[in-house]
Homo-oligomer: A and B are copies of this chain.
Amino acid sequence: MLQYFAPLAVLAAAIFVVCTLRRLLRFPEGEGKVLKIAKAIRSGANAYLSRQYRTVILIFAVVFVLLGGLALAKLVNPFIPFAFLTGGLYSGLAGFVGMKVATRANSRTALAASEGLNKGLRAAFSAGSIMGFTVVGLGLLDLSVWYFLLKYVFHLVDTDIGTNMLTFGMGASFMALFARIGGGIFTKAADVGADLVGKVEAGIPEDDERNPAVIADNVGDNVGDVAGMGADLYESYVGSIVSACALGAVAGIKNGLVLPLAMAGVGVLCSIVGTFFVKTGERADQRSLLNSLRRGTIVASVLAALAFLPLIWLGTGNPMLYLSVLCGLGAGVAVGYTTEYFTSDSYKPTRAVAESSNTGTATTIIEGLALGFRSTVLPVLIIGAAIIGSFLFAKGADGTAQQGLLGIALAAVGMLSTLGITLSTDAYGPIADNAGGIAQMAGLDESVRERTDALDSLGNTTAAMGKGFAIGSAALTSLALLVSFVEKTGLTGDSLNLTDPKVLTGLLVGAMLPMLFSAMTMSAVGRAASKIVVEVRRQFREIAGIMTGEGNPDYASCVDICTKAALHEMVAPAVAALIAPVLVGFFLGAGGLLGMLAGATATGFLLAVMMSNSGGAWDNAKKYVESGYGGGKGSQCHKATVVGDTVGDPFKDTSGPSINILIKLLSVVSITLSDLILAISLFK
């Protein structure tokens, strides 16, 4: 009976999305300049995404053919090539829908905000929740269809279904990597380029229509922060569920395979209930809006926590697994709080970054980097405690290690079970940001921009919690995948031994991969931003009257530069992630590959946390200075924090999030291709 929760949730999510979409479209879209700008952003985003998908489809086709060949050679399971396609398709679709909705919501949000803060929130949050529930709905749809297909059409046994589902994540992760890297490069190149010439050199405000890169910047918000995030979280969601399913199928407990699917389904239903608690009176201030958003998440989480107890107890007969899930939920909340502590300007760390800007740019950078490194301590301790706790609870006094490991995987599922609503509060931020840009460019009243800024900044605060869940679940899921890799390859004894030279070498290589990856994505942003800088400088120089508003900047050329750069730069890192496990497996054998996965997981997790928090702190330190500290806008302090924010942009929105995907993709590829890798390896 547990297997019906997920389809039920898919249905509920679909109904919710349709209703919310209708409500969103009832908001007026605007006219005149507002509409013109919104359309320009929309067409830029559409153009980018369709070119991105064209590129990605080619690469998917190549990998599909390769996987097909391997399937014919019986080196991978025959379902895998097709599951790879559906995973990629749905992940891409999740991003696409999010972007479509966001580009329709931004002008609506701007206009709604002109009538009041609360109305603006409703428009932006509607769009955000469409994205949130599309992601979870599509994820559960994909998994449910495959589950029923494998179970009732192909009549596979549970353990085989688990192994198969595990590899479904590969398509989703691969697609997510393209979306995150491509979108991340686009958005940050445009953002950095626009800021460097516009704000720093020419001294015009952000989102000024005289800046030729301004439309590209706004397009970037949609293709990076919205579409990229959608594909990314689709991957996290599906990844956590399938890794738990695979461990559940072999743990020897009742309903082990379908329990994670059922938990996810229950989480979706609770999230939908939560959304109805996001509303305030017409005369709400910022504080009550924040409480309103938080109330939605808290209601959903508490409901889920309550519902999981009977679900797990009745479903598996083992109530201890419930305590493992609570470990995961608690850890997610705790990591979220550390994120908020380290990146909000209400607390000491970010204020210290702002203070260090008194002594110049160099100390701002040093302090921000140090903050990021320091901010890894608590998440590691929290996640470590969650790992040990969920393992021990699930194992119990007389359970097997496999049951304990299932506990870790279920903790990750618990964290992401309410993704529907946490993603809603995450995704509405960029939409409000974009609405502010449109308001600014269209010359709407100052108060509109103030309100959208307030919404955006609220979004940053609520998003911290969502980030905690995403980061924590990535670490736990990666560990679960590591275990599944060992199960699949049947490694034992010395090959698992941390003092084996091959394992140690693998560990070093694995620890290096997230760094190489960060270097590739950061450099890509730097290179693309330089191109934008050159182009914007050229337009300022060559187009007469651009500064007085008499000449028209050529927005399309900046969009085009970003598009080309993003597509060009996204391929190498993604393909590298696909090839690395094969190479390491060839040279170092399965033990070396295991070492690589462990090294990549540990270093990648930390580096992702560090980059995300450094970037967030620089961003908010800048806002803190802009709100008056150290001389406010235009002061030396402010200039230093602008540089910090610019350095932080690729940290928090390109490299950091990509690493979370990378570490899972490495694991999934290793599992999927393990038979091939073992067959060709130098060391058996």
Q: Chain B residues near A374 (CB, 8 Å)?
A: 515-516, 519-520, 523
Q: For residues 345 through 390 of chain A, which have their beta carbon under 8 Å from a beta carbon of chain B?
A: 356, 358-363, 365-367, 369-374, 376-377, 380-381, 383-384, 387-388
A359 touches which of B361, B362, B483, B533 (Cβ 8 Å): B533
- Within 8 Å of chain B (Cβ to Cβ): is A321? no
Q: Are B511 and A362 touching (Cβ within 8 A)?
A: no
Q: Are B605 and A508 touching (Cβ within 8 A)?
A: yes
State how many residues of chain A have any CB contact under 8 Å with chain B. 77
Bound-complex Cα distance A408 to B594 (A): 21
Bound-complex Cα distance A371 to B391 (A): 40
Q: Chain B residues near A365 (CB, 8 Å)?
A: 365, 643, 647
- Within 8 Å of chain B (Cβ to Cβ): is A502? yes
Measured CB to CB, the closest approach of chain B to A301, in angstroms, equals: 25
Bound-complex Cα distance A380 to B360 (A): 35
Q: Chain B residues near A510 (CB, 8 Å)?
A: 602
Bound-complex Cα distance A411 to B279 (A): 67
A509 touches which of B361, B384, B496, B508 (Cβ 8 Å): B384
Q: For residues 631 through 680 of chain A, which have their beta carbon under 8 Å from a beta carbon of chain B?
A: 643, 646-647, 650
- Within 8 Å of chain B (Cβ to Cβ): is A415? no
User: Chain copies in the assembly?
Assistant: 2
The residue of chain B having its C-beta at the shortest distance from the C-beta of A502 within the complex is: B388
A405 touches which of B501, B518, B533 (Cβ 8 Å): B501
A363/B605 contact (C-beta < 8 A), A376-B512, A507-B598 known:
no
- Within 8 Å of chain B (Cβ to Cβ): is A459? no
Q: Which of A356, A383, A515, A595 has the most CB of B within 10 A?
A: A515
- Within 8 Å of chain B (Cβ to Cβ): is A314? no
Bound-complex Cα distance A200 to B250 (A): 64
Q: What mask results when residues 476 to 506 of chain A are scored 1 for a CB within 8 Å of chain B, else 0?
A: 0001001100100000000011110111110
Q: Chain B residues near A383 (CB, 8 Å)?
A: 508
Measured CB to CB, the closest approach of chain B to A523, in angstroms, equals: 4
Q: Chain B residues near A503 (CB, 8 Å)?
A: 498
- Within 8 Å of chain B (Cβ to Cβ): is A606? yes
A369 touches which of B483, B507, B522 (Cβ 8 Å): B522
- Within 8 Å of chain B (Cβ to Cβ): is A230? no
Q: For residues 597 through 613 of chain A, which have their beta carbon under 8 Å from a beta carbon of chain B?
A: 598-599, 602-603, 605-606, 610
A-B residue pairs in contact (CB < 8 Å), sample of 5: A369-B522, A380-B508, A387-B505, A498-B503, A511-B602
